[in-house]
Amino acid sequence: MDHRAETRDFLTTRRARITPAQAGLPSYGTSRRVPGLRREEAAMLAGVSVDYYTRLERGNLSGVSDNVLEALVRALHLDEAERDHLYDLARQANAGPRARATRRRTTASLRPAVQQLLDAMTSAPSYVRNGRLDILGANNLARAVFAPVFRTTAGRPNLARFIFLDPASQDFYRDWEQLAEDVVALLRGEAGRNPYDKDLTDLIGELSTRNDRFPTWWAAHDVRLHRSGVKRLHHPLVGDLTLSYESMDLTADQGLRLNAYSAQPASPDQDALNLIASWAASPTSPISPTQSQEHR
């Protein structure tokens, strides 16, 4: 990926979304050729010269200080995910040639102890994924709840490929459009952290060429954190299912996250989850996890 282009487009799109009123600036009733703030306005808000701001927005973050980065965060109203992304871009710009040429190593496989932990979580569908959204391991209940993901994926399941390339995903995820945008934002954030990951670059290229909507969302340069929330599913056997989730880093395994799901206690969703669990425990069940053991 072109690091300068990534930086340029990120800063440009952030500036374009802020109106003078949002920034506390008078608009003087004049028409604007481009949306959002002008460069000189962004420079003034950040406390830097127009020439220096222009240099930054052209993608040159070399030598930029934390003070300037924080000034950009304030001037462009960046949220936590966007702030992290800006720092990731700056970190790459200031890395030496050897560091830039060296791929950031993400844990490639799941440690047996982590799989053991997943298997012990018998009442909570849980899986571990990397930044590319490959699922590296899951417990039996997750394989049953997310059966369409595991059944329709050849090789290691990848949530982005399922969502963008498998029509079944639009039936399975009741909030498909919002989830699809979130997935693009997660991949954009991963590209900032790990721009030399060839597998990630190949994945983005594949999605861009095989799905008409992916390029539009990718061009927005949005990034988001995905730490907790609600997933609304339509399960092939129990119908509509609403689950809360928590997503957390595995601190001993760089780049891996544990996603765990639960239903509201004593709710129809909990009853449905219990039913899925009982079906999954049967070796003759249509959603038996034994059908997907090759993915483990």
pLDDT (average), residues 147-156: 82
Let me know whether 179 and 240 are in one domain: yes
Within-domain flag for 106 = no
pTM over 0.75: yes
Let me know whether 97 and 118 are in one domain: no
Share of the chain above pLDDT 90, in %: 78
**d(Cα 10, Cα 93) in Å, to the nearest integer?**
14
For residue 104, give the DSSP letter: P
- Residue 292 has what pLDDT? 40
Within-domain flag for 218 = yes
Cβ atoms < 10 Å from Cβ of 89: 24
Let me know whether 22 and 131 are in one domain: no
Contact status, residue 283 vs residue 290, Cβ threshold 8 Å: yes
Let me know whether 93 and 117 are in one domain: no
**d(Cα 29, Cα 36) in Å, to the nearest integer?**
14
Within-domain flag for 204 = yes
Structure tokens at 4: 């300068």
Domain that holds residue 213: 112-295
Report the DSSP pairing between strands 135-138 and 228-235: unpaired
- Residue 296 has what pLDDT? 34
For residue 292, give the DSSP letter: G
Structure tokens at 147: 């059966």
Domain CATH code at residue 73 = 1.10.260.40
Q: What is the mean pLDDT of the chain?
A: 90
Hey, is 232 helix, strand or coil?
Answer: strand
Let me know whether 97 and 116 are in one domain: no
Question: Is residue 295 predicted with pLDDT exceeding 70?
Answer: no
For residue 246, give the DSSP letter: E
Hey, is 133 helix, strand or coil?
Answer: coil
For residue 158, give the DSSP letter: B
Let me know whether 140 and 278 are in one domain: yes
**d(Cα 185, Cα 178) in Å, to the nearest integer?**
11
For residue 212, give the DSSP letter: S
Question: Is residue 103 predicted with pLDDT exceeding 60?
Answer: no
Q: What is the pLDDT of residues 177-208, one digit of tens each?
A: 999 999 999 999 999 999 999 999 999 999 99
CA angle 240, 246, 248 (to 5 degrees): 145
**d(Cα 257, Cα 268) in Å, to the nearest integer?**
28
Structure tokens at 167: 């029509």
List residues bridging with 235 in a β-sheet.
Answer: 239
Question: Is residue 98 predicted with pLDDT exceeding 80?
Answer: no
Within-domain flag for 124 = yes
Cβ atoms < 10 Å from Cβ of 3: 19
Let me know whether 147 and 185 are in one domain: yes
Within-domain flag for 107 = no
Let me know whether 90 and 122 are in one domain: no
Domain count, the chain: 2
Let me know whether 25 and 172 are in one domain: no
Within-domain flag for 191 = yes
- Residue 96 has what pLDDT? 64
Structure tokens at 59: 């993608």
Main-chain dihedrals φ then ψ at residue 233, nearest 5 degrees: -110, 160
Closest CA to 14 of 193, 222, 215: 222
DSSP string across 95-128 = S-HHHHHSPP----S--HHHHHHHHH-TTS-EEE
Of the two residues 82 and 33, the one the predictor is more confident about is 82
